[in-house]
Chains A and B, each alone.
Chain A
């Protein structure tokens, strides 16, 4: 009946099935999962003592708490022993994150996303591939690394530095990464090589996305999930957790709005403190599902602020100004915990206390489009003391709507300063930080750029470096820049031109037959053509890999032991290995280690012992844990009292071993970890005593004035172009899919739900353009084009569309300008102007199988 194969019976793990602990590979929330594996050929029984779940399956499970075992939670994989094994991956029942075995539609597909030669995931890369003219040929690791090391060394020998070695690599946890692989990648490029032209997976440079907060002394991961249950008010600023951090919303925020956490509030907060069901403020250009669900629960405790694109920092400053006027701050806190000299600058530039209140607010209304009354209401909900003089507790969570806004630095700084002015960091039920996208697992030697323009930056825009014709070796690891970089259409064209120039050169008089000749001809070709030698290290032959010269197969989540933290509690856990990687795919850390050893071999052959040694960083890494421990040792001394936690890097795990993590299982340990009496101790919540600055005081900053839009977007707001490109476009993610769909595009459940990239358009605009749900629209501007499916919805307002940022069939980034914040080199992915037209005809099969009902309507 449906076009997806459904199941009505699933294999039951027998009592002797192997049981492993793991954590979902996908989003920031990091829900706990249990993995059951056993050889094909046997099954458990329905009685509780006959199956590894220990659950009586003769009776239906109880809703909201019973065993969750859905159709996508089973698969069959082949191990290196040649035998087939059942794999069952179900939400854990003992996790402090996903209570009651909660999970999302993304995590529910962990099992079917595993590699198998019998399913669509057979597309996983098994062996290194070398381009021979127009096709790839399989080669061995030995050959692949000999060529790669030969080319890298040839470039260094000629240049005397690593300027032409350009890297784009993941820096996150979860999905195949984690502390182990981060340390491997970091060691290769910052210890072996000294690469400075390196970009992070989703952006053009190597930078923090939140220097505006870190340079104030507040790392972005400072709250705990419990704070969302204890808060009086939750502010979601440019963050849509129902869709992108689903279980954090359903298990920690939603119950608070529903008033289901009152008892927990009473238990955890001050004696006599009034508690009530939570309030929610959503600041977003869209009526997101996170907003409309809250409205559905309690309209009178929900507030939506809808600032004009790019004006959020002005709005945050205005809310803070109201707090200042109404004295919603604690003078003692300001004096003891914050830098009062810098506070003057903040007052003058951000709060503009020199401008009369009414005049200031009128100006803010004009710039942001948000009504003064709503701004004042927001300030009340955020910081107005409660009855009895108790300080209000507000948890402020922001994400890409702020980070990938124009003026990244000032946006982030304005929000964290608003929070700190109201003493809303470091107390139960408070905090100000990122929602997070993916999990984290950052441990690396020092990176090339220490901070923003105010701290030794900004970092180099590596995309631009490449499209300007610079760089020779481009090594892409665990990311797909053909979908993920801004100004994507231009980027793709330029990289294709440059890689093809080299490919053509290599084909002149025939591709070489020996490794030495390959290396020599590549080096010669790079100089002769200004081409680019591209290496892609990934799970699949991703879009970017189509133009690569060398493809290296990486192993994935579940195919090795790994460790990561989630974002909402910094909860470090062990993700246990439960299957083997396909073919000869390897963990990134091992690839980096082998590359290092190959480089060392080449240098040693020339008698360059010093250089050789630099590249032997991984010679003692035999197991995943060796790498984990090696990385952990790079953290500073953490045998310090709790009051000093602010001095530690947020992810510090020094002193933690795999044995310890096995013992604590799903309970994990919260970083930064300190060591007390030789034992690792976690940190529930940060900055209760000091902030993360040299003197421990919060460091204020005066934000810029409103200066209008950057040239790249302003050009669309005047004259002819204003008519030609009449729509604002903002962009973002969708509930069902993960990142660039590198796994999801092989899952029929996902492709049926979201068969193509889509836009949301307001009914009025849709009517004018003759568009209906399920039609196709062409969206374009001077930067690029895209074809999108249409959803008609009041989520967006007239004159603005929302476009899905990543889909394997296209990206809104094609239309995104090349603008980056001059202070941080962070792009503005979420705002530009576009034209829209209906594409003639339709795709009826797709209209028949896919739903176009409104996704934010819950009443």
Chain B
């Protein structure tokens, strides 16, 4: 599967990018539009297929899930382009989603998200996919979270 990035993101070193689209009278800011920190969330050598790792990003009050899917994914990093991370807050009403059977499932009203498809909602009441956390990998295998592509539930702005 060929997945092209919408935007080339600067690599490593924790530098983040803000992009601003649209000008004139009315402006729409597309994510990531804010300045995000780079935070280490794991190391490729410690990841096992389908065993999710939880972390906080971009701050202590927002949980993310990092998972190696074992199959290529939109926005996936690593040699197999299969390592992805998302906000764990369901975009419906904020419950924590679970990684189960190769997909994310929300226990509250059963929204389901496909991790290989940018966590698009394929069933349920949620209106957008889980915000995808952009990842980068350092030479030593450390995985960094660098930005959030989508609005974390319960916030008017991610940061």
Contacts and interface: CB of A to CB of B under 8 A. Distances in A.
Contact of A100 (B34, B75, B93, B121): B93
B93 A8 contact: no
Interface string A1-32: 11111111110100000000000000000000
Interface string A664-707: 00000000000000000000000000000000000000000000
Interface in B1-42: 1-3, 5-6, 21, 25-26, 28-34
B67 to A, nearest CB: 15
B149 A848 contact: no
Contact of A849 (B33, B74, B102): B74
Nearest to A118: B26
Contact of B151 (A9, A848, A849, A855): A9
Given A103-B125, A851-B122, A8 B149 contact: yes
B150 interface: yes
Given A2-B74, A9-B151, A855 B122 contact: yes
B12 to A, nearest CB: 18
A105 B126 contact: yes
Given A104-B125, A735-B124, A7 B74 contact: no
A705 B74 CA distance: 56
Given A8-B34, A57-B155, A848-B2, A68 B29 contact: no
Given A70-B91, A850-B120, A749 B128 contact: yes
B28, B103, B128 pick with most chain A CB within 10 angstroms? B128
Contacts of B103: 853
Contacts of B157: 8-10
Contacts of B102: 853
B142 interface: no
Given A63-B95, A851-B117, A246 B151 contact: no
A225 to B, nearest CB: 16
Contact of A289 (B28, B108, B123, B156): B123
Nearest to A109: B127
Given A2-B75, A7-B30, A63 B129 contact: no
A525 to B, nearest CB: 46
B109 A250 contact: yes
A8 B158 contact: yes
Interface in B115-159: 116-118, 120-129, 131-132, 134, 148-158
Contact of B105 (A62, A65, A71, A858): A858
Interface residues of A, number: 63
Nearest to B111: A105
Contacts of B79: none
Contacts of A4: 118, 128-129
A279 B30 CA distance: 46
Contacts of A296: 110
Nearest to B3: A848
Contacts of A46: 156
Given A1-B75, A2-B75, A8 B120 contact: no
A61 interface: yes
B156 A8 contact: no
A293 B94 contact: no
A5 B30 contact: yes
A64 B128 CA distance: 17
Nearest to B26: A76
A336 interface: no
A101 interface: yes
A154 to B, nearest CB: 47
A816 interface: no
B3 to A, nearest CB: 7
B65 interface: no
B26 A12 contact: no
A850 B30 CA distance: 21
B93, B103, B154 pick with most chain A CB within 10 angstroms? B93
A853 B112 CA distance: 9
Interface string A727-749: 00000000110000000000001
A361 interface: no
B91 to A, nearest CB: 6
Given A1-B149, A63-B94, A848-B3, A7 B29 contact: yes
Nearest to B89: A63
A751 B76 CA distance: 22
A61 B156 CA distance: 10
A603 interface: no
A250 B125 CA distance: 9
A84 interface: yes
Interface in B51-103: 61-62, 74-75, 89-96, 101-103
B61, B74, B134, B157 pick with most chain A CB within 10 angstroms? B157
B26 A60 contact: no
B134 A1 contact: yes
Nearest to B72: A848
Interface string A66-106: 11111110001000000010000000000000001111110
A98 to B, nearest CB: 10
Nearest to B21: A5
Nearest to A250: B109
Contact of B1 (A2, A67, A848): A848
A63 B61 CA distance: 13
Contacts of B120: 2, 752-753, 849-851
A59 B59 CA distance: 11
B117 A1 contact: no
Nearest to A70: B127
A57 B156 CA distance: 7
Nearest to A254: B109
B2, B90, B94, B96 pick with most chain A CB within 10 angstroms? B94
A59 B103 CA distance: 29
B65 to A, nearest CB: 15
A379 interface: no
A6 B110 contact: no
Contacts of A104: 125, 127
Nearest to B100: A859
A749 B132 contact: no
A108 interface: yes
Nearest to A101: B93
Contacts of A66: 93-94, 154
Contact of B29 (A9, A293, A752): A9
Contacts of A10: 151, 156-157
A34 to B, nearest CB: 15
A637 B124 CA distance: 44
A191 B128 CA distance: 46
Given A2-B74, A64-B95, A753-B120, A858 B156 contact: no
A791 B33 CA distance: 36
Contacts of A749: 127-128
A247 B5 CA distance: 36
A61 B32 contact: no
A40 interface: yes
A104 B92 CA distance: 8
A856 B152 CA distance: 26
A60 B32 CA distance: 19
Given A7-B151, A8-B31, A850-B120, A71 B128 contact: yes
A70 B5 CA distance: 24
Interface of A: 1-10, 12, 40, 46, 57, 59-72, 76, 84, 100-105, 108-109, 118, 242, 246-247, 250, 254, 289, 293, 296, 735-736, 749, 752-753, 848-853, 855-859
The 8 lowest CB-CB distance pairs between A and B, nearest first, are A63-B94, A108-B127, A1-B75, A2-B118, A9-B157, A851-B114, A61-B154, A8-B31
Given A749-B127, A850-B120, A851-B114, 13 more contacts: A3-B118, A40-B25, A60-B94, A61-B155, A65-B93, A70-B151, A71-B127, A84-B26, A102-B109, A242-B110, A749-B128, A851-B122, A853-B102
18 contacts: A1-B6, A1-B74, A2-B149, A4-B128, A8-B31, A8-B152, A10-B151, A40-B25, A60-B155, A63-B154, A64-B95, A64-B108, A66-B154, A104-B125, A293-B110, A848-B117, A851-B120, A858-B112
